[in-house]
Structure 1
Amino acid sequence: MQMPVHIVAAGGFVENDKGEILLVKTRRDGHWVFPGGQVEVGENLIDGLRREVKEESGIDVKVSHLVGVFSNRAPYEGHSGVKIVPTKVMFDFVCEPIGGELTTSDETSESCWISKEQVLDMVSAPALRTRYQAYLDYNGSVHYMDYITKPKFELKFKKNI
């Protein structure tokens, strides 16, 4: 059996005291997303998330609680000698802004605060919309979902744990 290879990522639903959500627009494809990304070697989930939010938006955050764990089993192109990465595992957390100023980065062309009700008007990717809905539906139980994004989005399994 080949040793499994996974990408581990953390995403943040950053909500300010006005009830607005932080979104960033990616330079890669021009889509609006929640800040977050891959956890680097030697980094834990919380530190990785704080770093990603700061890099992508300029905002410093305090990570509050886990709302969901998501497995995307659609294969991705690898790097560093790995040809295909079979699964991406994402941990989504609620975050509180504690400083910094909105800015952009090499990865983002825009960043903004948007009302909770308008987020789904801006976020188009089905997987991100599903993860945002899990955030909205959070009631103290962590959501677990398994899906694929290629050739099209398909939710395979869903459970609260």
Structure 2
Amino acid sequence: MSTPKHSVSVAGIVVNEDGRVLLIQRRDNRHWEPPGGVLELSEAFEDGVRREVYEETGVAVTVDRLTGVYKNMERGIVALVFYCRGGNKPAPVTSEAVQVQWMTVEQARAVMAPAYHVRITDALTPGVNVRVHDGINVLGA
């Protein structure tokens, strides 16, 4: 019997001077999410966050701290989410995003699935949160 495999991803909750968060509308499924993706085998966590945020938004960031660990129970993806600072103007579109925008927390709530919006609210509070979700909703909350 083989052991099930998990995928590890990283994401950045990028906050600018105005307190807005950087979001992408993904090209593949049109969902709004914080920028992020699969961590490469040779990457440190913070390096992966910087790379993913830059690739998906054109914004260079400083990674401050881990804010949460999230597991998509349906897909076996474990995501490490980090609070980041960045403020340069994002690219309007990228190879992975049909839109890239700075949004208020309220604007983000209106366009994001709860399982992804909670990453923003978690990042704006002290501590590290650990949650599981089904890809849309947080489970056991």
State the TM-score, normalizing by the size of structure 2. 0.89
Partner of residue 9, structure 1: 9
Unaligned runs of 5+ in 2: none
Q: How many residues align?
A: 140
1:154 CA displacement: 5.2
**2:90 is equivalent to residue 102 of structure 1:** yes
Give the 3-state SS of the residue equivalent to 2:122 in structure 1.
Answer: helix
Provide the alpha-carbon RMSD of the alignment.
1.8
Partner of residue 54, structure 1: 54
Unaligned runs of 5+ in 1: 76-86
Partner of residue 133, structure 1: 121
Give the 3-state SS of the residue equivalent to 2:61 in structure 1.
Answer: strand
The superposition leaves residues 2-28 of structure 1 with CA deviations (integer Å, 9 ceiling, x where unpaired) of 133111011111000111111111111
Classify 1:89/1:127 alpha carbon distance in 2 versus 1 (closer, same or farther; 3 Å). same
Task: Identify the range of structure 1 (113-122 vs 28-37) with the bigger mean alpha-carbon deviation.
Answer: 113-122
State the TM-score, normalizing by the size of structure 1. 0.78
The 5-angstrom pairing of residues 8-47 of structure 1 reads 8-47=8-47
Where does structure 1 differ by over 6 angstroms across 4 or more consecutive aligned residues?
none
Q: Is the 8 Å Cα contact of residues 62 and 98 (structure 1) preserved in structure 2? A: no
**2:126 is equivalent to residue 146 of structure 1:** no
Larger CA Rg, structure 1 vs 2: 1
Classify 1:30/1:145 alpha carbon distance in 2 versus 1 (closer, same or farther; 3 Å). same
The superposition leaves residues 43-93 of structure 1 with CA deviations (integer Å, 9 ceiling, x where unpaired) of 121111100100000000000011111111213xxxxxxxxxxx2111111
Amino acid at match of 1:108: A
Mapped partners of 1:41, 1:89: distance in 2: 14
